[in-house]
Structure 1
Amino acid sequence: MGRFAYLMEGNLTRNGIKGGKLTLLNRVCQSFQRLLTTAVREIDIAGQTLKIHALGEVYDSLTGRAFTGSWIWDSALLLSRWLATSQFDLRDKSVIELGAGAGLPGLTAALLGASRVLLTDIAPLLPGLVKNVEANELEDRVEVRELVWGSEESLSRIGELRRFDVVLLSDVFFDLEEMAALGRTLKKVSGNKTRILAASEVRFWTGECLNELVSQGFKVVEVPIQEDGSDGGRDIFAVYNIIPPDEEDCHNNMSGSIIRR
């Protein structure tokens, strides 16, 4: 629906129709989005059920395009399942999810025993995250905060800034121009023993995004997985252990190989 709104806006602009009619179109598209794209999914994780609201009505008011973070991506499902089935111990850990979107991996961490989980994303996506926290009655352990990658001011707003035990990322290796800011943020929230775990669909540009992190001193190791996360499709998915600079010897004995894609 966001794509429909964007195309319609473009057509009207090219035809010289602006102002009030374009504003009216935006309102119509917004209403149509709310009717069609709000959904609730129940996802089984480690014998428990998470309720996730996918809110397609969260859109960019300038372009009319829906924010893709409103949806549940296969990478988020893959990371959540990996956390639930691997030997990785989340009990009593502090966890932050960057670019959380609908918050599935972070909520999974809370189910698996994390003592504190912080879900972060841009401001328009925060109400959806709050709704998902409340729907799963995890307010005692899960917080929601705005965090813009690379922004010192934004980092200062996430409360008591400290190093987290675990950083979670899913499907964030998309825009090469955002990787420098992501790297700076990762360095701010990571400490000596922090584990940074990222799941991603492997696309043509994924390697370039990871190489940008490598250029900042991170080491990227692909973690063996039992499933590809594609639900039978032909897409390729991967889970990565991203080791902060100068901390290669503290990666919790995870086996894997440096990314070559």
Structure 2
Amino acid sequence: MLDNGLVPASEETTSGVVDLDLSDIKPGLTISIATDGGASGCGGKIWPAGELLVKYILFKEQQIRSVLSASGTRPLVLELGSGTGISGLAVGKLGCADVWITDQAQMVDLMHQNIVLNNLEDIVHAKELNWGEPLPNEIVKRPPAIVLAADCVYLEPAFPLLEKTLEDLAALNEECLILMAYKKRRKADAKYFKLARKHFILEEISDFPEYEQYKKDSVRLYRFHLKKRSGTLKTE
């Protein structure tokens, strides 16, 4: 578990509700996000990596639906380090899966507030999930078809905890689609990706219109492919 004392404080910003207009990708779609001005730490605001992941999910809606339909009846999508829950809410708006948006305990109320703001109480659920701890039985019994993470690489002591959780999730379902959006901020971040490449092959995803603009701002999107147990696959 990542101790609350290891959660970096966020620079205070104005709290309130932000309406994210995504009608240029999916006509008529708006996601309403309550932010808390940094009161709960770095999770209570909208970050560029989260915006990128949302736009990718919507732009690739048919591929997302295909992955979910292949996993059987009423699949599950799990977002890690959700903060406001913006990425999971985007999937919830598609209405094709149950969604868990997860974070540490202090974020659950804000996540639930955003579920209510978007009228997604029957589809999206806010849950506490601490990286590095054993996965909840509900997840073990119902492995996610898709795992999302945005701006989760920010604090070095959390790197092995995040990696363990991703490994545990991938072990439940080797076909799981794992998408991670990330903004490069410091050299130490490379240590996480070195750790991740021990068990995953990382594929940069760039096949949608706005990606190059995000890339100029040091924001990247990766798909994590679990390496074969034989060890025949190599890292990039």
Q: TM-score, normalised by structure 1?
A: 0.71
Q: Which residue is 1:184 aligned to?
A: 164
Query: Which range moved further: 36-45 or 142-151?
Result: 36-45
- Alignment partner, residue 196 of structure 2: 213
Q: Deviations over 1:39-63 (max 9, x none)?
A: 111112322111100112534xxxx
Q: How much has 1:3 moved relative to structure 2?
A: 6.7
Give the letter aligned to residue 89 of structure 1. I
Distance in 1 of aligned mates of 2:31 and 2:103: 20
Q: 1:165 aligns with which of 145, 158, 167?
A: 145
For the Cα contact (< 8 Å) 1:145–1:157, is it kept in 2? no
Letter in 2 for 1:240: Y
Mean Cα deviation higher: 202-211 or 110-119: 202-211
Against the structure 1 CA distance between its residues 127 and 158, is the aligned structure 2 distance closer, same or farther, given a 3 Å change threshold?
farther
Match of 1:12 in 2: none
* Residue deviations 1:212-240 (CA, integer Å, cap 9, x gap): 1112x111111114324867x95221110
The residue type paired with residue 211 of structure 1 is K
CA 1:177–1:56 in 2, change beyond 3 Å: closer, same or farther?
Answer: same
Whose Rg is larger? 1
The corresponding residue for 1:69 is: 43
2:53 & 2:167 partners in 1: Cα distance? 21
The amino acid across from 1:189 in the alignment is L
1:208 Cα deviation from its structure 2 partner: 2.3
**Structure 2 counterpart of 1:76, one-letter code:** G
SS of corresponding position for 2:176: strand
Q: Kindly report the root-mean-square deviation, in angstroms, between the aligned alpha carbons of the 2 structures.
A: 2.6
- Structure 1 residues 170-193: Cα deviation after superposition (integer angstroms, max 9, x where no partner): 011222321211121112223121
Give the structure 1 partner of residue 113 of structure 2. 131
**Match of residue 49, structure 1, among 13, 17, 30:** 30
Ranked by relative contact order (alpha carbons within 8 Å, sequence separation 6 or more), the top structure is: 2
* Gapped regions of structure 2 (runs ≥ 5): 1-8, 69-73
Q: Give the counterpart letter for 2:164 in structure 1.
A: R
Counterpart-to-counterpart distance in 1, 2:141 and 2:36: 29
Counterpart position of 2:71: none
Task: Give the residue type in structure 1 aligned to 2:209.
Answer: Q
Task: Compute the displacement of 1:161 (Å).
Answer: 4.4
Q: Aligned partners of 1:141 and 1:175: how far apart in 2?
A: 31
Measure how far apart 1:143 and its partner are. Answer: 0.7
- Residue 163 of structure 2 aligns to a residue whose secondary structure is helix
Change (3 A) 1:149 1:140: same
Using the alignment, how far apart are the partners of 1:221 and 1:83 within structure 2? Answer: 16
Name the CA shift for 1:161/1:177 in 2 (closer, same or farther; >3 Å): farther
Contact map agreement 1:98 1:119 (CA 8 A) in 2: yes
Task: Output the amino acid matched with 1:175.
Answer: L
Q: Which moved more, 1:179-188 or 1:199-208?
A: 199-208
